[in-house]
Amino acid sequence: MSTKKAIVKHIKGVTFLGKSDSNHWVTMDGPESFGGSDAGTRPKELLLIALGGCTGSDVITILQKKKVQINNFEMNISADVADEHPQVFTKINVEYVFHGKDIQEKDVERAIELSQTKYCSVTHMLNKAMEISHSFKILET
């Protein structure tokens, strides 16, 4: 088993800098009304971004191996948030949006399935805490 490490440094108020094994700094902050400088992404938002980066990397790699021509690819990720503290995510939906010509639904479905069930570690971790659903659309360009 390997170990990952991160360091998070307090800057001021609720502004923090963090980096992990890749040695890239990320700024995290809160709104001014909560003692922040509004100078960075909220920590909880980083979870959604991490999910998109993880599953997106899987899906695009799988489709490239299948020689599927993608002109543009993005994911719209939304999360339901509990009203009461600690205001956790209760459900996440990932909408995969593909732009290209002659993209086959079966290829997209398979790539998403493999990411969701086998490869994306962020999906697997978050699935233990909440439901993650997904959908996709293919736009001809």
As given in the structure block, the two tokens for residue 3 are 């170990």
Supply the pLDDT for residue 83.
97
Same domain, yes or no, for 63 and 108? yes
Same domain, yes or no, for 26 and 93? no
Supply the pLDDT for residue 126.
97
Supply the pLDDT for residue 140.
94
Q: State the pLDDT confidence band at 109, using cuts at 50, 70 and 90.
A: very high
Q: Which residue range forms the structural domain that includes residue 93?
A: 43-140
Same domain, yes or no, for 103 and 60? yes
Supply the pLDDT for residue 70.
97
Same domain, yes or no, for 62 and 99? yes
Same domain, yes or no, for 63 and 88? yes
Same domain, yes or no, for 49 and 10? no
As given in the structure block, the two tokens for residue 82 are 């509990």
CA distances from 54 to 51, 77, 119, 122 (A): 5, 13, 9, 6
